């Protein structure tokens, strides 16, 4: 069995960007592992490490040497390798040279298909120590570093200056050089607790030795768990519950090598400021964990995580309390200053803030949104006047000093200032809620007023940005239109607001500047939103064929016309659920095949839908008379059911057509010789196709074990 040892690679740097550290750790780990596997050096196990001043990978039981490789190459055919005299041709000689042997040393390979020159040899595997330098260099070059920096007089560039490299295979140093630094076995511990170089004696003991002698917990996950545990212990001792958000927990973990949590306090007078502002200041500026009571009220306390064990913790606490005091005082000042001017008085000043050059200012946008939300408000069950008022106030808090300092509080401070101005809770809440959902999986606006405002806001943004030609492309989406479209669809579907997208965007389009009017943009935005809707429902379990079938539905009314745009997300969602259930039935299999057959016949006959009603006097067979007789009452019944969005019942009714349709195709030759009879039968099939497509285009369903769709 080949000899194997643990392999360690550590890159020692100045403090790495904390928000980027987890991604750098994962990428370095992934690239080193891929590089080894490419060289047939499969480790028995592997682990990534990351701390403020290091990236490292430990790979368990990596072979000292690659396995031997059998090299086998096929050369030119024997017929082309030798001339009539049996002398090697240039092709044979060239192949031999490329293999590093003479023609006489080559063998032959013979199969049923012919004979060729053949070269085969065993190549000894390379030493891992010889392969590692290129693997490490390649991995470092592929790290996700948007902007690399240089240091000193070196031309080397990395995310931060590199100061040491450790490369050990077992206890032996693997010689390599990156960034002008030679590898060794000397790492470094904590800046203050263990400032002297630390000799790593054995690769496999890396993490334990670093923690034991260097006061560094190199394992990111272990350090993160320790931070959380210490913060929770401190919070419990203080009589509260810590507010621990994952992003902040990751960032704090990336800032410390030896975490020590401590609790500080601040003046209770600051609790008069909205808690969101205090929390933003503590989390965003100071990386503190706020504390709340069991009932959710903010406490005048915080927890910070130091990067060392101080001999005088009280002094550390006082220092942090001194730092947070002016931050909270700033928030208090902003709160008091902003309330001196009502939100409504800031409306005109929105004209000074450009939303987009061709779309005007935030005031112009507010006016457009106000006009649009006034139109759609009744459909959401809310008052149009209140909706218009909310739209004109929605962006006013962007002009406050508090939001200027804490941009993440937009909407939140609008709610607080609106309540201070005496507005009711629903209207004030809509100023905050209309931003939801802010990200995937976020909660939705809770009130009809906020939902209407959120839809109008997103509709105006979508139609406006499409109108100026700045649609998303690839991974570029500077106006977050994909997120806006998905949020709009989620609000409509999950809150149950039935609304035609084409009608919504037509109204939004009408309020754009005159020079941006282009009706084609409406269709483009509708399709864009329906694409997002498709991704949304597929993620929730809808199959692609069911979605395509529902999108292909045709409205079947008294005029037999295609009268609906089929672009109401709520209606589509209900059809999807009904169609997904129907797809599992035997009737779905039969009707899907029949509908495909009908459409194939109509297409080949160049008949477009809707077709005229068939003439009963031209029927020649009982089967076509029976089918026609059954279609007539079903038309009204299906129209009534679909009008009430009772799609499951409508599909059950359609299932009753299975037998007469099957008998029709068994007994009737549609393409009769008599042109009048043929045309009449095509018209009957057109009526059938329209009815079968009234809930969903059943021809697009692909039930399992579906019969052939040949006509």
User: Using the 8-state DSSP alphabet, how is residue 83 labeled?
Assistant: -
| Average per-residue pLDDT for the chain | 92
Q: What is the mean pLDDT of residues 526-546?
A: 94
Instruction: Give the range with max mean pLDDT: 219-228, 309-318, 666-675.
Output: 219-228
pLDDT greater at residue 456 or residue 101:
456
Q: What pLDDT, in 10s, does the model give residues 299-351? A: 999 999 999 999 999 999 999 999 999 999 999 999 999 999 999 999 999 99
CATH architecture of 544-700: Orthogonal Bundle (1.10)
Phi, psi of 710 (to 5 degrees): -70, 145
pLDDT of residue 555: 55
Query: What pLDDT was estimated at residue 589?
Result: 81
Q: Which range among 120-124, 190-194, 405-409, 477-481 shows the weakest confidence by mean pLDDT?
A: 120-124
Q: Which residue has the higher pLDDT, 69 or 569?
A: 569
- Give the span between the Cα atoms of 670 and 664, in whole angstroms: 9
- Element (H or E) spanning 80, and its range? helix 78-81
- Percent helix, strand and coil across the chain, each to the nearest 5: 55, 15, 30
Secondary structure (DSSP) of 324-384: HHHHHHHHHHHHHHHTTS-GGGGTGGGGGSEEETTTEEHHHHHHHHHHHHHHHGGGGTS-H
CATH 2.60.40 is held by the domain 4-66+127-214: no
| 227 or 633, which is more confident | 227
> Which has the higher per-residue pLDDT, 419 or 602?
419
- Return the structure tokens found at 27: 């990428």
Can you give the pLDDT at residue 710? Answer: 36
Query: Whose structure tokens read 């690239």?
Result: 31
Sign (positive or negative) of CA dihedral 211, 214, 215, 220? negative
Pairing of strands 298-306, 289-292: antiparallel
Token pair, residue 427, equals 């209207």
- Distance in angstroms (rounded) separating the CA atoms of residues 77 and 403: 78
- 703: confidence class by pLDDT, cuts 50, 70, 90: low
664 pLDDT more than 80:
yes
Q: Which residues lie below 8 Å from residue 419, measured CB to CB, with a gap of 6+?
A: 425, 428
Question: What mean pLDDT comes out for the span 220-234?
Answer: 98
In tens, the pLDDT along 481-521 reads 999 999 999 999 999 999 999 999 999 999 999 999 999 99
Rounded (10°) angle between helices 519-539 and 501-510: 140
CA 657/CA 590 separation, integer angstroms: 10
CA dist 646 and 279 (Å) reads 49
561 pLDDT higher than 70: no
**For residue 406, how many other CB atoms are within 10 A of its CB?**
22
pLDDT at 708: 39
Q: Residue 560: what pLDDT?
A: 38
- Residue 64's pLDDT band (cuts 50, 70, 90): very high
Consecutive H or E run containing 306: strand 298-306
The whole-number pLDDT of residue 562 equals 34
DSSP 3-state of 647 = helix
User: Where do the domains of the chain lie?
Assistant: 4-66+127-214, 70-123, 221-338, 346-539, 544-700
Q: Which residues, other chains included, contact 566 with Cβ-Cβ below 8 Å and sequence gap of 6+?
A: 551, 553, 554, 555, 572
The continuous run of DSSP H or E covering 546 comes out as helix 544-551
* DSSP structure class, residue 525: H
- Return the percentage of the chain with pLDDT > 70, whole number: 97
- Tell me the mean pLDDT in the region 250-265: 97
Same fold, 4-66+127-214 and 544-700: no
CA atoms 584, 589, 595, 599: torsion sign: positive
From residue 302, give the alpha-carbon distance in Å to each of 60, 281, 290, 314. 41, 11, 5, 14
Residues 6+ apart with CB under 8 A from 688: 598, 627, 631, 657, 661
């Amino acid at each position: 069995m080949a000899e194997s040892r643990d392999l360690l690679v550590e890159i020692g740097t100045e403090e790495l960007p904390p928000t980027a550290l987890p991604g750098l750790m994962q990428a370095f780990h992934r690239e080193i592992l891929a590089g080894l596997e490419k060289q047939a050096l499969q480790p028995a196990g592997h682990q990534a490490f990351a701390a403020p001043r290091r990236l490292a990978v430990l790979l368990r039981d990596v072979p000292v040497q690659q396995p031997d490789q059998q090299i086998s190459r096929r050369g030119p055919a024997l017929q082309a390798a030798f001339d009539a005299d049996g002398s090697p041709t240039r092709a044979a000689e060239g192949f031999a040279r490329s293999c590093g042997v003479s023609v006489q040393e080559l063998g032959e390979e013979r199969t049923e298909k012919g004979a060729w020159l053949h070269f085969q040899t065993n190549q000894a595997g390379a030493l891992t120590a010889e392969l590692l330098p290129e693997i490490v260099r390649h991995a470092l070059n592929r790290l996700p570093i948007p902007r690399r920096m240089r240091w000193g007089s070196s031309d080397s560039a990395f995310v931060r200056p590199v100061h040491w490299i450790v490369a050990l295979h077992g206890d032996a140093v693997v010689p390599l050089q990156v960034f002008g630094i030679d590898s060794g076995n000397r790492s470094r511990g904590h800046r203050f607790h263990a400032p002297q170089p630390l000799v790593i004696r054995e690769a496999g003991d890396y993490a334990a030795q670093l923690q034991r002698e260097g006061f560094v917990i190199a394992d990111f996950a272990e350090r993160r768990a320790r931070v959380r545990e210490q913060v929770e212990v401190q919070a419990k001792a203080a009589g509260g519950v810590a507010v621990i958000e994952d992003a902040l927990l990751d960032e704090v973990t990336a800032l410390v090598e030896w975490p020590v949590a401590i609790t500080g306090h601040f003046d209770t007078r600051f609790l008069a400021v909205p808690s969101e502002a205090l929390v933003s200041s503590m989390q965003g500026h100071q990386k503190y964990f706020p504390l709340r009571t069991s009932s959710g009220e903010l406490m005048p306390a915080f927890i910070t995580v130091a990067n060392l064990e101080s001999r005088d913790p009280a002094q550390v606490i006082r220092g942090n309390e001194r730092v947070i005091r002016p931050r909270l005082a700033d928030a208090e000042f902003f709160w008091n200053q902003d309330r001196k001017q009502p939100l409504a008085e800031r409306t005109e000043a929105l004209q000074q803030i450009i939303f987009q050059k061709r779309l005007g200012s935030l005031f112009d946008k507010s006016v457009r949104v106000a006009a649009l939300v006034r139109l759609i408000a009744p459909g959401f069950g809310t008052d149009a006047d209140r909706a218009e008022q909310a739209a004109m106030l929605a962006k006013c808090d962007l002009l406050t000093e508090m939001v200027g300092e804490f941009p993440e509080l937009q909407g939140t401070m609008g709610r607080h200032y609106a309540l201070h101005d005496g507005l009711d809770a629903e209207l004030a809440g809509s100023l905050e809620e209309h931003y939801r959902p802010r990200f995937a999986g976020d909660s939705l606006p809770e009130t009809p007023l906020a939902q209407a405002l959120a839809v109008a806001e997103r509709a105006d943004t979508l139609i406006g940005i499409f109108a100026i030609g700045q649609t998303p492309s690839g991974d570029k989406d500077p106006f977050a239109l994909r997120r806006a479209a998905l949020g709009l669809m989620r609000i409509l579907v999950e809150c149950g607001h039935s609304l035609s997208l084409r009608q919504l965007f037509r109204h939004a389009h009408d309020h754009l500047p005159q020079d941006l009017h282009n009706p084609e943009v409406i269709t483009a935005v509708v399709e864009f939103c329906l694409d997002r809707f498709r991704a949304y429902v597929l993620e929730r379990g809808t199959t692609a064929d069911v979605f395509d079938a529902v999108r292909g539905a045709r409205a079947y009314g008294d005029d037999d016309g295609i009268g609906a745009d089929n672009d109401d997300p709520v209606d589509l969602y209900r059809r999807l659920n009904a169609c997904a259930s129907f797809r599992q039935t035997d009737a779905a299999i039969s009707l899907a095949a029949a509908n495909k057959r009908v459409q194939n016949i109509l297409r080949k006959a160049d008949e477009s839908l809707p077709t005229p009603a068939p003439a009963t006097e031209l029927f020649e067979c009982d089967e076509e008379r029976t089918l026609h007789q059954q279609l007539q009452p079903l038309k009204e019944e299906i129209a009534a059911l679909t009008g009430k969005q009772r799609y499951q019942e409508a599909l059950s009714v359609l299932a009753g057509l299975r037998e007469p349709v099957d008998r029709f195709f068994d007994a009737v030759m549609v393409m009769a010789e008599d042109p009048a009879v043929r045309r009449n039968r095509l018209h009957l099939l057109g009526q059938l196709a329209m009815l079968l497509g009234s809930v969903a285009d059943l021809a697009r369903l692909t039930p399992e074990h579906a019969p052939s769709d040949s006509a």
